[in-house]
Structure 1
Amino acid sequence: MNSKASSLLSFAFVILFFSSASAFNITRILSHFPEFSSFNDYLTQTQLFQQINSRNTITVLVVNNNAIASLSGKPLDVIKKILSVHVVLDYYDVEKLTTLPKKTTVLTTLLQSSGLAVGQQGFLDVSLVNEGEIAFGSAVKGSSLNIKLVKPVLARPYNISVLEVTSTIVPPGIDQAAASPKSPPTAPATAPAHAPAKEPIAKAPAPTDEVAGDSPTESPSSAPEADAPNADAPNADAPNADDAAPVSSPVPSAADAAPTPTPSESGSSRTNVASGFLSVGVVMGLVALLVSF
């Protein structure tokens, strides 16, 4: 029993040893090289160090503080994309790069695996140029291989390789791809165009008010007409149809009453004539008095 327990314990220690040997921390590695302190700080700010440390096989292309100064002032999300292009998802040391089977080899970077790459932005081209120099560049069409390998910084075969390059690799259009989502504020402009359509609805009640105002004026005019037959109703209480004759009989009496105002009108005219004669007489008398004087 004791022998079995000791063998299991030793096997566990072996597993722990290999697992610890294969693990790495990129920020701790770069902390030993002050010339890469700015690159290391960007890895921390963008949280890229977590993605790098989670990989088992990786190659990091680092640049010194002077070369990375060109990224200052850029948005942090753009810097994250650019640094992601400097992380190759495979192990490449100087020996492996110098023995590439093809003249130009395409490398897959961390930006491609993130899903944020547009076109070929997530790939790098590496090639041997001049007399054995190793050059890197973006795989985007039209890009040039102008980034050169300076020196190896750290190599743990088939685990992690850190290589220094002359400058940052910025794929064409990576800045515009980050700024493009800010374009759609034009949609709300169409909303106010439909708002004035409600104004004609507010004008509709105006004619209804005029009709309502006319209805009370007509009702009093019809009311007196309705009262007239009601006043005559008591005289028509007789059950026989002969009572209709007396209702029509007063019509000739109304005709007789019509000429009566004529004498009153003639009397008033006569009084007016008499008063006219009196005024003429008074005027003549006054004239005679004046002549006598």
Structure 2
Amino acid sequence: MPRAGIVRICLLLLVALTTWPGACRATHNITAILAGHRDLAEFSRQLTATGLADDIDGRNTITVLAVDDAHMATLKARGLPRETLRHVLSLHVLVDYYDDDKLHRLPGGSAVVSTLFQASGDAPGSEGMVKIAVRRGGRVAFVPQDVDDARATVFYVKSVHEAPYNISVLQVSSVITSPAAEAPSATESKPNATDATSRHGPHAGAYTAPSPAGQGSSSDINAAKQAGDGGDRGKKNGASGGGAPCGLPFALAFLMAAILVVNW
């Protein structure tokens, strides 16, 4: 085959590789990550039961704030409906990458981050944000942006899993919640727990009892958008953008190899 024909084929393959739908698919599995931590078993089960495990696995840049079994038992005892429970747990999923190092090096000592509750469109208005702040003594606090009650503050405990800048799992001291997250939903439009993909294993039962209604105040969403999914693109202490062409490095390597073959 003429050399020009080989080069043309290589270029076509390059285009195919960079535009292949699965080229940017996330490779993590949150239930597999949590499987080695027995004290986080109930949190893992409820991520699966509410369908959040699939949402987490479908994102390339994510931080999960895990809660131990003791505090999950308190949440379970409240008997929240499945969709309300999903909203509460969505507050524990930050759509940006934060690890132990980044938490302690926040510019200005604080950041407002979008959660999966807000990013999914389920949160009303500008609610569904979480503020991260370094408190006196170096303790890192998480509190919903629309909640003023100091009792709603939870604290960073330890890092469970870090895969820069793809997924991070951090344990927090208690359940994060807000009136907006606990407000009853008009419909339960999300798939049932038994509809979640089988790779997450058996599903926990859904909660059925009603929850009290609540309404939080609105807050500025602009800062959180800037710190959203992939906000610190390419920086050491930030996550690379979720929409980056993940297949590009491989495609470039393939093209270089093809050129070498042609020139051999």
CA contact 1:119–1:140 (8 Å) conserved in 2 = no
CA offset digits 1:230-271 (Å, max 9, x no partner): xxxxxxxxxxxxxxxxxxxxxxxxxxxxxxxxxxxxxxxxxx
Q: Which residue is equivalent to 2:90?
A: 84
Among the aligned pairs, what percent are the same residue? 37
Deviation at 1:28, TM superposition (A): 1.0
Per-residue CA distance 1:182-210 (angstroms, 9 max, x = gap): 9xxxxxxxxxxxxxxxxxxxxxxxxxxxx
After superposition, the Cα gap between the structure-2 partners of 1:147 and 1:53, relative to the gap in structure 1 and judged at 3 Å, is same
Question: How far has the Cα of 1:102 moved from its partner?
Answer: 2.1
Which residue is 1:165 aligned to?
172
CA contact (8 A) 1:121 1:171 kept: no
Correspondence for 1:155? 162
Q: Which residue of 1 aligns with 2:33?
A: 29
Which residue of structure 2 aligns with residue 43 of structure 1?
A: 47
* Count of residue correspondences: 177
Q: Is the radius of gyration larger for structure 1 or structure 2?
A: 1
1:56 corresponds, among 60, 67, 73, to 60
TM-score normalised per structure 2? 0.59
Alignment of 1:169-208 (within 5 A): 169-178=176-185
Unaligned runs of 5+ in 1: 183-293
Q: Residue 125 of structure 1 contacts residue 138 of structure 1 at CA under 8 Å; is this kept in 2? A: yes
The alpha-carbon deviation at position 89 of structure 1 amounts to 0.4
Q: State how far apart, in whole Å, the 1-side matches of 2:147 and 2:51 are.
A: 29
State the 1:177 CA deviation. Answer: 4.1
Q: Are the counterparts in 1 of residues 154 and 174 from structure 2 also a CA contact under 8 Å?
A: yes
User: d(CA) in 1 for partners of 2:184 and 2:26?
Assistant: 36
Counterpart code for 2:143: G
Counterpart secondary structure, 1:158: coil
Counterpart of 1:127 (choices 123, 127, 133) is 133
Select which of 99, 116, 122 maps to 1:116.
122
Matching residue of 2:112: 106
Distance change in 2, residues 1:116/1:20 (3 Å): closer
Matched to 2:109, the amino acid is K
Report how far residue 33 of structure 1 moved.
1.1
Calculate the TM-score normalised by the size of structure 1: 0.53
Distance 1:37 1:121 in 2: 28
Is 1:68 the counterpart of 2:72 in the alignment? yes
Q: CA offset at residue 20 of structure 1? A: 9.8
Distance 1:41 1:52 in 2: 14
User: CA–CA distance in 1 between the matches of 2:132 and 2:27?
Assistant: 27
Higher normalized contact order (CA 8 Å, seq sep 6+, divided by chain length): 2
Q: Which runs of 5+ in 2 are unaligned?
A: 189-209, 211-264
Tell me the C-alpha RMSD between the 2 structures: 3.3
**2-side partners of 1:118 and 1:22: how far apart?**
28
Distance 2:46 2:26 in 1: 24
Deviation of residue 108 (structure 1)?
0.4
State the distance in 2 between where 1:168 and 1:149 align.
11
The one-letter code of the counterpart of 2:153 is: N
Which protein has the bigger helix share? 1
Rounded Cα–Cα distance in structure 1 between residues aligned with 2:25 and 2:185: 38
CA shift for structure 1 position 180: 9.8
Counterpart residue type for residue 132 of structure 2: V
- Partner SS, residue 131 of structure 1: helix
5 Å matches for 1:219-258?
A: none
| Separation (CA, whole Å) in 1 of partners of 2:168 and 2:116 | 15
2:154 maps to amino acid: I
What whole-Å deviation, never above 9, does each CA across 1:99-156 have from its counterpart, x for those lacking one? 1112331010001111111244310011000111101011004243620100000000
